[in-house]
Amino acid sequence: MIRVLVVDDQMIVRAGLGVVLGTADDVEVVGEAVDGEDALRQARALRPDVVCMDIRMPGTDGIAATRSIRADPALQAEVLVLTTFDVDADVFAALEAGAAGFLLKGADEATLVAAVRSVASGEGTLDQRLTRRILQEFADRRRPAPDTAAEAAGAGRHEAADAGRGPLTEREHDVLTLLARGLSNAEIAEELFVEPTTVKYHLAGLLQKTGARDRLQAVLWGLRAGLVTVD
């Protein structure tokens, strides 16, 4: 069973998420929290696998709570950020704080359950309706000056090797590029004319070499390193 903690300051939202997630045979909502401080307290007490986290809440917000949960070595919970259609600095801050993915509030039941399963499995999740906008904004914020762009790209290609993990293979770089487009494993397999199991193999190598926790963090690593764009 995937143990889930739901965090939102609105009771009706918590109740709705609980009902939707409760329809899945392999998901159990073990608790609800009303703000970030409550989320950290309950995460330590309940040890969930996934925390469905709202961003804007009174008191301790979702960003601070995500950072605290991810920084606690005793907790193994992944954080799935639930956001509105507004893409702003809060979303980027949550991703940098360690969120494993993001999903629009109002997503259908199947999408929400699939996102929880994906995050719990360590793959992370990207809502494709927002992926391009968020990654584009993140890339713009991280884009180096023209005279340093080539240097940054070269450093990125060798960053994994410098860390003793070996450089990315051509296929791993292909997978990284397609991840930046928000493609799922099945869609990447179709694009590269390989089996989904092959994509998982290359993705595992990519995560190991970049030190990324999941596919989302791998894309952010690639953007920082100048290896991928969202053009």
Q: pLDDT confidence of 153, banded at 50, 70, 90?
A: very low
Q: Are residues 77 and 171 in the same domain?
A: no
pLDDT tens string 215-230: 777 887 888 788 887 6
Q: Are residues 101 and 155 in the same domain?
A: no
Is 148 part of any domain?
yes
Q: Are residues 7 and 115 in the same domain?
A: yes
Q: What are 23-28's contacts with CB under 8 Å, separation 24+?
A: 23/109, 23/113, 24/113, 24/116, 26/1, 26/2, 26/117, 27/1, 27/2, 27/113, 27/116, 27/117, 28/1, 28/2, 28/3, 28/4
Instruction: State the pLDDT at residue 137.
Output: 67
Residue 177 has pLDDT above 70, yes or no: yes
- Gyration radius of the chain's alpha carbons: 18
Q: Are residues 29 and 80 in the same domain?
A: yes
Cα(40)–Cα(33) distance, integer angstroms? 9
Angle at 228 between CA 225 and CA 231, to 5 degrees: 135
Is 134 part of any domain?
no
Which is higher by pLDDT, 3 or 196? Answer: 3
- 32-41, 62-71, 91-100, 105-114: the lowest-pLDDT one: 91-100
Q: Are residues 180 and 208 in the same domain?
A: yes
Instruction: State the pLDDT at residue 92.
Output: 75
The CATH number assigned to the domain holding 120 equals: 3.40.50.2300
Q: Are residues 76 and 9 in the same domain?
A: yes
**Predicted TM-score of the model (pTM):** 0.74
Q: Which of 92, 126, 160 represents a domain boundary (last residue)?
A: 126
Domain range spanning residue 199?
Answer: 139-225
Instruction: State the pLDDT at residue 77.
Output: 95
Is 231 part of any domain?
no
Residue 25 has pLDDT above 80, yes or no: yes
Q: Are residues 108 and 173 in the same domain?
A: no
DSSP 58-90: SSS-HHHHHHHHHH-TT---EEEEEE-S---HH
Interval 129-152 mean pLDDT = 57
Q: Are residues 21 and 92 in the same domain?
A: yes
Q: pLDDT confidence of 189, banded at 50, 70, 90?
A: very high
Is 178 part of any domain?
yes
Residue 162 has pLDDT above 60, yes or no: no
Total domains present in the chain: 2
Instruction: State the pLDDT at residue 167.
Output: 86
Q: Are residues 122 and 143 in the same domain?
A: no
Q: pLDDT confidence of 157, banded at 50, 70, 90?
A: very low
pLDDT tens string 95-119: 788 888 888 888 889 989 999 998 8
Interval 45-62 mean pLDDT = 93
At 44, the amino acid letter reads: R
Q: Are residues 30 and 116 in the same domain?
A: yes
